[in-house]
Amino acid sequence: MKGEGPSNSWDSAGPFGISDGELSAELQKWTGSASALHPVGELLDRHWAAAFAYARLCTDGPRAAGMLTTAAFTRLFGESLHQAGPSAAWRPHLLVTVRRIAAEWDTDGRQELLHPALRPDPASGERVAGRLLPPPGRRLLARAFQRLPQPSRAVLWHTEVEGEPLAVPAALLGLDEESTAVELARARDRLREECLQTHRELAPDAECGRYLRMLDVTFRRGGGLAMDPDLRGHLDGCGHCARTADQLARFHDGLPLALAEAVLGW
């Protein structure tokens, strides 16, 4: 993700009397016989500014950013009507949808609306979709994040990536701040465990599996000078384990940026 991340949503949204999950449920139950303006309007008020800020990073100006943001909301509202949209994790799901639609613009004749640095490079043949993917060194974290329950994704995104106070995800989730603090601690632990599980599943050979426990313990306490020489030697020769080590290290320093890169890429 380039430049500043999505803007803080609290000033524009304020405290809420209904959670994102409840709004999503209300939208999913809509049959067309009554207005859906309430859930649609509330979700727009809460998440438009952040989605627009990210869309602005992907496009060549405010007009194109508005088009991209509108397209992302429209898609998610449609998915919700078909019982497939987000529930609690609206913000990260919406931002990923912005990213995906930006990639689609590369193939449907709207490349000129994309940010110049994002447009396809005729010399290299690289497409927009490739530039928008998380970098190789963040894909373990990306998979782990997607495996988390939606409340965990929401609280991690709003506190770690967007740097918002606990009151924001608490209101969006319909929790008090004390419960949200507990959820945040659990979410961090779950994210780390999912990183280890994903590493185990993707390990290229048995030797990586033998070093997993040592890798876990070393980076749980911060890694660094006390690293076992055998583990150091393995990391020097194994890109898979070295990338895992780097992502585990981010839990001590740099998780906000690493998580943003993992989810959004650009």
User: DSSP characters for 173-236?
Assistant: HT--HHHHHHHHHHHHHHHHHHHHHHHHHH-SSHHHHHTHHHHHHHHHTT-STT--HHHHHHHH
Q: At what angle do helices 90-105 and 255-264 cross, to 10 degrees?
A: 50
Supply the pLDDT for residue 36: 54
pLDDT > 90? residue 104: yes
pLDDT band at 3 (very low <50, low <70, confident <90, very high): very low
* CA-CA-CA-CA dihedral for 19, 23, 25, 29, to nearest 10: 160
Of residues 219 and 51, the one with the higher pLDDT is 51
Beta carbons within 10 angstroms of residue 4's beta carbon: 10
Q: Closest Cα to residue 242, out of 211, 206, 201?
A: 211
- Rounded Cα–Cα distance for residues 152 and 78 (Å): 24
pLDDT > 60? residue 85: yes
- Rounded Cα–Cα distance for residues 134 and 93 (Å): 15
| Distant-in-sequence, close-in-space partners of 18: CB < 8 Å, separation ≥ 6 | 42, 174
Tokens at residue 84, please? 């497939």
Q: At what angle do helices 239-249 and 229-237 cross, to 10 degrees?
A: 120
The angle formed by the CA atoms of residues 54, 156 and 58, to the nearest 5 degrees, is: 10
How do residues 14-45 score in pLDDT, each as one tens digit? Answer: 456 799 999 999 888 876 655 556 789 999 99
pLDDT band at 12 (very low <50, low <70, confident <90, very high): very low
pLDDT band at 118 (very low <50, low <70, confident <90, very high): confident
pLDDT > 80? residue 5: no
pLDDT band at 84 (very low <50, low <70, confident <90, very high): confident
Tell me the torsion sign for CA atoms 27, 28, 32, 33.
Answer: negative
Q: What is the pTM of this model?
A: 0.87
- Rounded Cα–Cα distance for residues 160 and 145 (Å): 13
Whether residue 256 contacts residue 161, with contact meaning beta carbons closer than 8 Å, is answered with yes
The predicted model gives 143-165 an average pLDDT of 97
Q: Which one-letter DSSP state was computed for residue 110? A: -
Lowest mean pLDDT among 91-95, 104-108, 164-168, 261-265: 104-108
